[in-house]
Structure 1
Amino acid sequence: MTVFETDRLIVRQWTESDADVARVFDMLSRWEVARWLGARPRVLENEAAALAAIRRWRGRASADGLHGVWAVDVRDTGATAGSVLVLPLPGLDNEPTGDIEVGWHLHPDSWGRGYATESAAAAIERVFAAGLPQIYAVIREGNTPSTAVAARLGMTAIGKQSRWYGGIELDTYRLAAPDR
């Protein structure tokens, strides 16, 4: 099911198909990707773990379609580049807060092509169109490519925060909705 589209990308729900499971496993079994994700980064060890991740992501989708973790497909090739997400940030107790995050994780074969920026910009536009006043990106120290994406999105660095993801310290970026 398509969630939204851009000129080059189709953003859709992840499925339990063999192709999606294989792609998630190939992406998240790589330390160069997994090292930046979650409260306790770790690589996936098998396709069963990839399927479990897809099921978790699908379970986090909101009924209104505004929140979720979605697959990013390249329109011209059909290749799945990775994921874009819009989710409530988990607080110190790991329960969802009222703060909303935009995030992305792409397979290394899709890095450097602008897919993270393009998909995240469209996701942010949807959030603002729904009336949310601001959105955050939280990035582990040293993740220069993601910091560059946040800058291209027009996000402002607001320093290190440790109020989300169980208290781990993360570089935090914020974007306020434009005046309408």
Structure 2
Amino acid sequence: MSTTAHGGASPELHLPFDLAELDASPVRTGRLVLRPIRAQDADDVDAYQRLPEVVAYLPWPLRDREASHEHTALRARQRTLAGDGDAVALAIVLPGEPSLGGGGEGRVIGDLTFILTSAAHAQVGVGWVLHPDFQGRGYAREAATALLDLAAGLGAHRIAATVDAANEPSLALCERLGMRKEATFRHDRHDRTGWRDTVIYALTGAEWLGRRVSAADTTTSPGAH
């Protein structure tokens, strides 16, 4: 590993990152399974992509069933992080909840987005969306925690989330994850409702790993409840 002019280690992401790793070994949290999104997930994904209250905070248009299925198939084909701008999607699967598409492993109740924003500077972006029927139960935090673990494990130096300023649940999730509110861009986007503000939350991979170690120490200490 090389060093910079300031004497620190150069950032180095472990690339390329191929979703085949998660096909073989999905991420399992306490209640969820995170694995690459598949074309067969389209009915479950359509159930939240078509909701105005969900799409209002996302860079997506409202989609009918056909367009939603096409979009899910497109995302399912995006399998590798190798160059700047590459993005992959992970399905948030709730085992035991029947899939609308008839799959037996559980229902896709949302998804995670993982974006390579700068390979040279070891920077990644993260995002999440959850069906409203499954909000308020801690699933989003559980899934996002696993996504940040994945980003840190990939060697990310900086992990950032871009959030619509009106998306209060997502802003609150960033705060609960311990991410810093670094900037608010006023009227930087325009959509069918008018001008929108964007909030940037971020933290370094080292900060995230430190939080995870501290949380583990608290959980395993004799006085922890």
Which band: TM-score by shorter chain? 0.7 to 0.9
Kindly provide the CA deviation profile for residues 60-106 of structure 1, in whole angstroms up to 9, marking residues without a partner as x. 33168x9521110113432321111211359xxxxxx9742111111
Q: Secondary structure at the match of 1:151?
A: helix
Q: Aligned partners of 2:79 and 2:182: how far apart in 1?
A: 27
Q: Aligned partners of 1:61 and 1:36: how far apart in 2?
A: 25
TM, length-normalised to structure 2:
0.65
Q: 1:58 — aligned with what?
A: 76
TM, length-normalised to structure 1:
0.80
Q: 1:48 — aligned with what?
A: 66
Q: Secondary structure at the match of 1:100?
A: strand
Q: 2:112 — aligned with what?
A: 84
- Cα RMSD after superposing both structures: 2.8
2:95 aligns with one of 54, 75, 79: 75
1:3 aligns with one of 17, 23, 26: 26
Kept in 1: contact 2:117–2:125 (CA 8 A): yes
Identity %: 25
Kept in 2: contact 1:13–1:58 (CA 8 A): yes
Q: Secondary structure at the match of 2:26?
A: strand
Q: Which amino acid aligns with 1:43?
A: L
Q: Aligned partners of 2:149 and 2:81: how far apart in 1?
A: 18
Q: Aligned partners of 1:70 and 1:21: how far apart in 2?
A: 13
Q: Which amino acid aligns with 1:88?
A: L
- Point out where structure 1 has 5 or more consecutive residues left out of the alignment: 91-96
Shift of 1:56: 2.4
Q: Aligned partners of 1:63 and 1:42: how far apart in 2?
A: 25
Kept in 1: contact 2:161–2:201 (CA 8 A): yes
Q: Aligned partners of 2:146 and 2:185: how far apart in 1?
A: 25
Distance 1:67 1:8, change over 3 A: farther
- Point out where structure 2 has 5 or more consecutive residues left out of the alignment: 1-22, 98-105, 191-195, 210-225
Q: 1:116 — aligned with what?
A: 140
Q: Aligned partners of 1:34 and 1:5: how far apart in 2?
A: 27
Correspondences of 1:86-105 after superposition (within 5 Å): 86-89=114-117, 99-105=123-129
Kept in 1: contact 2:57–2:166 (CA 8 A): no
Kept in 1: contact 2:88–2:115 (CA 8 A): yes
Q: 2:44 — aligned with what?
A: 23
Residue range with higher mean Cα deviation, 114-123 or 55-64:
55-64
Kindly provide the CA deviation profile for residues 12-69 of structure 1, in whole angstroms up to 9, marking residues without a partner as x. 122222xx2111111111001111111xx42112x221122112212333168x9521
